[in-house]
Amino acid sequence: MNINIYYGGRGIIDDPTNYVINKMQEVLEELRVNVMRYNLYEYKNTIPTLPQTLKEADGIILATTVEWYGIGGYMQQFLDACWLFGDKEKIAQIYMCPIVMSTTYGEREAKLNLTTAWEILGGLPCTGLCGYIENTVTLEMNEKYALIIEKKAENMYRTINQHMSSFPASNQAVRQKVSIPQSIDLTPQETEQLSQYAADDNYVQRQKEDIQELAGLFRDMLNNEGADSEEEYLVKFRQAFKPQPGFKAIYSFNIEEKKKNLIIDVRGSRLECSYGVAEQPDAEMQINRSAMEDIVNGRMTFQRAFMSGAMKMKGDFKILRMLEQLFPFEELR
């Protein structure tokens, strides 16, 4: 018979849970049980791989200490790993005995949480052990407490050895009907390999770097597409430009979804088009993208865009009317 002990405490000297599982291990070994102990705090970087250790186990002990609230992070990580990477068919054959010692309030709730979690995973629960221990010395010196622990270990051995049955629990029904994780159709070997990758810090770091590199690549592609569309507007304005002798004005277009404003600087026969910021434009326009597309393709005039509300203007209206003469886009159609 093989029994694994998973200890989720911090490993401090006066932890009462340590005494309890040490005592249970002694009793089980006297019964010729092969006992393997895993201190989760020693495996904190490889906890996702620990469900692999369940393969040869007939029973397990989940032991933790309530120091302030709940079962603790290491034990929760181990149960999460069993849910994500564990072999559910194997877990369904494994008996679990919860051991929870508390130095504060909450040992009964923590013991119930361990039992519930194992039942949702599909496993078989044994009657566990929980208690409030203010001082570990009193636990070690009390022979009645030692007898309780010995009896609990013997009962666990008897339950596993005789393959005792139990009534179905609603927790297992929940797992079958509601709490089913998304299936990714992996073989047990692939699941094992995935759990190894998840525990490999170097592999995870490489994946993060690859994701950042791809994100930068796509960002550059999007920026290049945006640059191409901006250059297209500049070309359209240059092609449609008809100089008006002696006329000077600076137009600033705030186009929807554009990061920078389109600046049109007209000085007689000279035209400068660019994207940026104009310090003192003579006219400022705010226009949506679809209206600008209609204007540069000759389907709408600046005046109509302003009258319809598709474009808002701030500045001299005479300068606005000059846009029709400076850039007759309809003639390019």
Q: How far apart are CA 150 and CA 157, in angstroms?
A: 11
Query: In the chain, which residues fall in CATH 3.30.1050.10?
Result: 228-332
Q: Among positive and negative, which fits the CA dihedral 124, 89, 180, 165?
A: negative
pTM confidence score: 0.57
Determine the residue type at 70: G
CA angle 320, 326, 327 (to 5 degrees): 95
Q: How far apart are CA 88 and CA 82, in angstroms?
A: 8
For the stretch 242-254, pLDDT in tens is: 988 888 999 999 9
Which structure tokens are listed for 131?
Answer: 């208690």
CA angle 34, 38, 42 (to 5 degrees): 155
Residue 198 φ/ψ region, left for φ over 0, alpha for ψ in the -120 to 50 degree band, beta for the rest: alpha
Cβ distance 9 to 15 under 8 Å? yes
Q: How far apart are CA 289 and CA 253, in angstroms?
A: 11
What mean pLDDT do residues 111-119 have? 92
For the stretch 202-225, pLDDT in tens is: 766 777 777 877 777 766 666 555
Query: Residue 175 pLDDT > 70, yes or no?
Result: no
Name the fold adopted by 228-332.
Nonspecific Lipid-transfer Protein; Chain A (3.30.1050)
Query: In the chain, which residues fall in CATH 3.40.50.360?
Result: 2-199
Runs of H (alpha helix) within 162-279 = 170-177, 188-199, 201-240
Name the fold adopted by 2-199.
Rossmann fold (3.40.50)
Q: What per-residue confidence (pLDDT) applies to 316? A: 79
The secondary structure of residue 270, as a DSSP letter, is E
Q: What per-residue confidence (pLDDT) applies to 187? A: 62
Find which of 49-58, 185-194, 302-311 is predicted with most confidence, using mean pLDDT: 49-58
Cβ distance 295 to 329 under 8 Å? yes
